[in-house]
Structure 1
Amino acid sequence: MRHGARVVFPPGWWGFTLRTWAALLLSLLVAFWTQIESPASAAVTVMLLAQPLRGQALSKAFYRVVGTLIGGVVALCLISMFGQERQILLGGCAIWMAICAYVGTLRRGFRAYGALLSGYVVALIAIAHIDAPQNAFHVTIARVSTVMIGVASIATVALLSGTPHVWPRLVRGLQKVAAEARHETHLALDDTTPTLTSLETIALSSTVFSLAHQVHDTRTELTKGRLRAKGAQVCLIGMVTALSCCRSLLFLMRHATINPAVMALTRSDIHAPSGTDRTTIMTDLLDRLPADTPRLTRADAWRLERTASLIASRHSSRKGLNTLLKAAPLGKVKAMSQFAFHPDRVAAFINAIRVLFCFSVAAALFIGSGQPNASTALSQCAMLLCLGVTQPNSATFGRGILVGTPLGIITAGITSFLILPHTSTVPSMAIIMLLQVTISCLLIMNPATAAMGSHYAPFFFVFLGLNNHHDYNFLSFVDRNTFYLCAAGITAFFLIKFIPPQPRQTRFRITLSIANELERQFSSRSPAFTPALLSRKYDRLHQLYTLSRTISEASKGKAAWRICERFISLADLTTALARLELDLKTARQYPELAQLAETTQKDMSHMELFSLAEHLSLMAEKMLSQVSSSSKPAYVVAVLCAAGLEEVRFLLQENKSALRHYGIGRRRW
């Protein structure tokens, strides 16, 4: 019983409802007081911006303002150039919307929303007034004004009320995952069997990376928000890198024998120098090896390097979290704040084509009909297309439109003809709005009804036709909403049936990008080893894990997880090659290592892949043989290079069948 109540009434729903209601009333009061054209647009803005957390609301409001201004300028340019040419004007709007859909697919969070918004604002201004282009400037000013009223209302309520913040939730999420990651790293360093398998380690990394979307929202809540957001990014990269080191240590535990002296040195209770990087920690570890320690083996070097990387990653993670909490300087770990996401350009192009085609068909149907409200319906269709086409599951969004539109029209009809005629005071209107906002917020906060609620909540006021002088004409209401219903049906049909995103297709593109990056690495054309390369890798793996879980739940088999594990290992090989290339570049700076490093780099670039695996072990042994006659810095770099060579050798052997199966690096077979 209690669980059912929590599903219907999620935690925080009442506060969210009251804040949204207050912002809605404020926007309507200002819009009616200023006698602005179409005050319903201010209410629509408030309901579109309604978010349970302060940072989310403020961030979305900011990008709504930016998107509206850009869209307004583009609309004025199109109308001024092609106001007398309907076909060219519609074509220009379609192309602009397709461009915005492309950009919106490549962006994340509310930046994507801003890009999409600038697309459909053109439709709301240019197409809705295609028969009266002389009014375009006044319409643009009115729309921007209503958006500003809605944004100001949301921002005022968010800042003056007790709206929950994003950043405490982000901190709690980071601390919770950090505790679990710290436990696993302790087990890995202690050579104790970890409680997580390799795939479960990726699941934990995916949980860490899923917090990335909250990072940008914290910037609007905190002083020195940019610095603190960078700290959160450093913390995320540090944690997922530490978990990656855990996977390597798990492989070592299963497949190699480590010198007891090295094992004792790299236990979890090691006290590393504070504020250091991997090279400094490795220097400290090598200095603390007992004098009677036998010559390091390749596995010993790999263990030492992964331990140093793990400790450095944990340090940067703690440093980043401290920056998020206290705005402390990041220092040397600032470079790790380079954050990059995987750009799915194929999906972006497909979404652009979907918008272009669907809008063109809708324009032919609506504008060709010659009906008075057809242009308004086409504008509604354009808005729904832009909002729905970039959704991860556009079919679910389309079904939400099919349910939310008739529900909103029915509710608007009841409100317009049965309730509003008996309402003559502001308090009674406020009570009516409270009931409407309560229903909307409950629909939005419930995951099962979120798609329906995101359509019902804002467009209720469009269906109602709320204006300075409300129209109670029933035939006008039916005529207007018939076109809105048609627009919803056409849009939902295209979102559900026309090239909807499929998990298997998206997974194919992710795995193809992993294979292509490894191919470029084999050809020495891959980007350098940087935090941006790491974050892009972890974003791919996060998406791959999420898609594999979805496919596995649908197919009830383990094949999806086997593919996931295979490409995780291939992604690890890519980063291992990039890291080794960086270490060899450093080694070439030392005279005693320069020739060997140069030879190794040439062999890495030109030898046959399956002969290279055996050759790498010889090169690693040569690197370790240089240790005794090298200076201290060269000694450390030689061990790092030997560790990298051993890691690449192991991963090449591990992925030999996968490379042949997928045809990766075929030119070097």
Structure 2
Amino acid sequence: MPVNATSAAAPSPLLFAGFPASSWAFALRVWLAMLLALYVSFWLELESPSSSALTVAVLALPTRGQGMEKAGYRLLATAIGVAASIAIAGMFSQTDSLLLAVLGIWVGLCVYVAGMLDGNRAYAAALCCITVALIDIQQIDTPLQVVPTGVARGAAIGIGVLAVALVNEVLAAPNYHPVLASRIEALHRRVTDLAQDAEHASAPAAASLLHDIAAVRPEIASLATESSIGTARAEAARSALVDLVSALSLDRMLAVLPAPSPNTARLVAMSRSWLQTEISRKNAQVRSSLDALREGTRPYRAWRAPLYRSRRIAAETAARAAISFTLIAVFFVLTGWPSTELCLSLVAVIIGLSSTSPAPRTFTLVTMMAMPIACVLAGILKYVVFNGVSEFQLLAIGLAPVVIGFALLISLPSPMLSSLGRLVLVFTLAVLAPTNPQSYDPEVFLVTSLFACLSSVLVFTAQTLLPPLSGDRRVRLLLREAGSELSHLDSGRARDLAPEEAAFRDAARIDQILTANGSVLNGPITAKAMRCFDQAEALRRCRAELDRLTQGPLAHVAQDAREALAQRNGAAILAAAEALREAAARSNLSANSAIAVLIPASSAFAPLLSPNQGERP
């Protein structure tokens, strides 16, 4: 059925005040979960009941699997952070200066680990930094309170997680796998359309598609927590993504086949036929994995979808984060201001969370906008709406407009508005700090608001004095690492990955190159990145096919082909393919697959016609 006919038949979503019914249902779940978390925390008389409400705000995600996956990492990171807080306070509590230096090192270490991970795993690494900051820094003058504070925070977070899980279950929060299956199916259509439309099958179009495919990877992990068959669905989704990248790389091999000449016509025809067959097989495997994803069964093969991360970029980002935190801590020591523990702990929170963003300074700017809004809203709630009341029913009614309103913002597809809504909701709850009974000391509130706003300003100032890695710097490092890996691809130090899995890892690097500049496609950079991608994929496929010929009468010809590949010489590779065809014909053996991948490899390593020509057709 045509796409336009399908779209016409699809019912339009029910809207209320400009938001679909699903967004209102999500906002209602967030509000109810927050009330449940606060009620249980008040009933148990926890030391920090606001942490349970903050947990609900952090876990405010539209589907069940996404919320539960993040909840699991939040619990794990909290446990690690509490243990680290106890250890750090126990060893360095007697020397404030040394304690601050150790905390700076811990911030840098957590930021480094976050830089080596993605999705909620990166968030968990950042949360280890945040937990230590909220416990050790705020108890810097009372180290004996570190253990009770850590236990109280862990208990409050556990209650928040249970509240979210219960409300999502009772109110039947939607599953994520239908949404993910639709996204992967749309990506599959784009891959097939790009293969059929040679005019748009350029390096920028292919790079953009690889970026979108790799961007789905962090979301797959949430399927495992969605249901008892979630692990099978996660494997099916990963297999579909890996096969999508493989199909795209084969499409590009087909597109760069040289024009047939009297000497190469047979080779080109053989390669074209094999590539077309292989592309059809990969497309069938993608459809099979999509069916397995929807049905909750195991895929035909559980591919790994490895993540590429630059250790150099992670290390430089971590060093900047540690230095920024240390400089701000030194600033507070020099000024001698009292009650700066809250501000310094929020500094660590902002640094940790910004490390999970591709643009740390942009995140800090959004935080600078969100913090004053949150302080004003917290003041209105405390001194206008509540105004001295302590009844839980009035607390529930007063929180409803704020929580539901910002939950609606979180549900928007705009990353900026969604991020702003989540940050304002989290900071509003942090400044309001609901307790039982509620505190209404205006002096405490003003000091808290002042230091909360000051924390984001100080982080932005530190990032101005010591800017985060620029997009151009990231791109240069990623391209340099891609070239280095390409030059050592034949040295035997390659990863133990199948060609399809290695191609997905390279696609993840393409994703980071594009993300470094805000997904803005730069022609020469994109062309260079895609050329490295094409060459690496051609080398891996050639090596895999030639390895099958190591035994038998074609072994010496296969070795000659490997040497031609090592030279990165297109003409020598083409000659090796012809020699392999002749040897196979004499021996009455088949080497069609090896020959088929050698031909596009000869084009991938052909010299460029001009300095600006870097993209493939």
Q: TM-score, normalised by structure 2?
A: 0.90
Deviation at 1:93, TM superposition (A): 1.7
Q: For 2:484, what is the secondary structure of its paired residue?
A: helix
Kindly indicate whether residue 217 of structure 2 is the aligned counterpart of residue 256 of structure 1: no
Kindly indicate whether residue 330 of structure 2 is the aligned counterpart of residue 320 of structure 1: no
- Over the matched positions of the two proteins, sequence identity in percent amounts to 25
Match of 1:361 among 304, 327, 330: 327
Report what 1:503 is aligned to. Answer: 471
In 2, Cα distance between the equivalents of 1:384 and 1:509?
Answer: 26
Match of 2:562 among 591, 598, 601: 601
In 1, Cα distance between the equivalents of 2:44 and 2:25?
Answer: 29
Match of 2:486, as an amino acid? L
The farther-off stretch of 519-528 and 72-81 is 519-528
In 1, Cα distance between the equivalents of 2:87 and 2:528?
Answer: 51
Kindly indicate whether residue 534 of structure 2 is the aligned counterpart of residue 572 of structure 1: yes
In 2, Cα distance between the equivalents of 1:547 and 1:642?
Answer: 38
Query: C-alpha offsets along residues 165-211 of structure 1, whole Å, 9 cap, x if unaligned?
Result: 211100111222323434555x48xxxx5764454244334333332
Deviation at 1:398, TM superposition (A): 1.2
Counterparts in 2 of 1:160-559, with a 5 A limit?
160-185=170-195, 187=196, 196-197=201-202, 199-252=204-257, 255-257=258-260, 297-331=266-300, 333-334=301-302, 337-421=303-387, 423-446=389-412, 447=414, 448-495=416-463, 498-521=466-489, 525-527=493-495, 530=498, 531-546=500-515, 550-552=519-521
Counterparts in 2 of 1:10-159, with a 5 A limit?
12-159=22-169
Q: Are the aligned partners of 1:358 and 1:494 in contact in 2 as well (CA < 8 Å)?
A: yes
Q: Are the aligned partners of 1:409 and 1:463 in contact in 2 as well (CA < 8 Å)?
A: yes
Change (3 A) 1:9 1:304: same
Kindly indicate whether residue 587 of structure 2 is the aligned counterpart of residue 630 of structure 1: yes
Match of 1:358, as an amino acid? S
Total equivalences in the alignment: 599
Match of 1:585 among 521, 539, 547: 547
Q: For 1:37, what is the secondary structure of its paired residue?
A: coil
Q: Are the aligned partners of 1:70 and 1:118 in contact in 2 as well (CA < 8 Å)?
A: yes
Q: For 2:260, what is the secondary structure of its paired residue?
A: coil
Q: TM-score, normalised by structure 1?
A: 0.83
In 2, Cα distance between the equivalents of 1:242 and 1:458?
Answer: 42
Match of 2:299, as an amino acid? L
Deviation at 1:457, TM superposition (A): 0.8
Deviation at 1:487, TM superposition (A): 1.6
Change (3 A) 1:508 1:460: same
Change (3 A) 1:547 1:490: closer
Match of 1:230, as an amino acid? E
Cα RMSD of the aligned pairs, angstroms, is 2.8
Structure having the larger proportion of residues in helix: 1
Deviation at 1:467, TM superposition (A): 1.9
Deviation at 1:51, TM superposition (A): 1.2
In 1, Cα distance between the equivalents of 2:200 and 2:447?
Answer: 63
Radius of gyration: which is bigger? Answer: 1
Q: For 2:352, what is the secondary structure of its paired residue?
A: helix
* Higher RCO, 1 vs 2 (CA within 8 Å, ≥6 residues apart): 2
Report what 1:651 is aligned to. Answer: 604
Deviation at 1:522, TM superposition (A): 5.7
Q: Are the aligned partners of 2:378 and 2:428 in contact in 1 as well (CA < 8 Å)?
A: yes
Deviation at 1:85, TM superposition (A): 1.7
Q: Are the aligned partners of 2:37 and 2:160 in contact in 1 as well (CA < 8 Å)?
A: yes
Query: C-alpha offsets along residues 556-592 of structure 1, whole Å, 9 cap, x if unaligned?
Result: xxxx223312331222111211221222221112x21
In 2, Cα distance between the equivalents of 1:72 and 1:346?
Answer: 29
Change (3 A) 1:575 1:598: same
Report what 1:274 is aligned to. Answer: none
Match of 1:619 among 545, 556, 576: 576
Deviation at 1:375, TM superposition (A): 1.5
In 2, Cα distance between the equivalents of 1:244 and 1:194?
Answer: 17
Report what 1:273 is aligned to. Answer: none
Q: Are the aligned partners of 1:75 and 1:126 in contact in 2 as well (CA < 8 Å)?
A: yes
Match of 1:500, as an amino acid? P
Q: Are the aligned partners of 2:254 and 2:600 in contact in 1 as well (CA < 8 Å)?
A: no
Deviation at 1:550, TM superposition (A): 4.0
Q: Are the aligned partners of 1:366 and 1:375 in contact in 2 as well (CA < 8 Å)?
A: no
Q: For 1:587, what is the secondary structure of its paired residue?
A: coil
Q: Are the aligned partners of 2:390 and 2:436 in contact in 1 as well (CA < 8 Å)?
A: no
Deviation at 1:229, TM superposition (A): 0.6
Report what 1:556 is aligned to. Answer: none
Q: For 2:606, what is the secondary structure of its paired residue?
A: helix
Change (3 A) 1:442 1:501: farther
Match of 2:209, as an amino acid? L
The farther-off stretch of 27-36 and 315-324 is 315-324
In 2, Cα distance between the equivalents of 1:11 and 1:548?
Answer: 35
In 2, Cα distance between the equivalents of 1:80 and 1:649?
Answer: 63
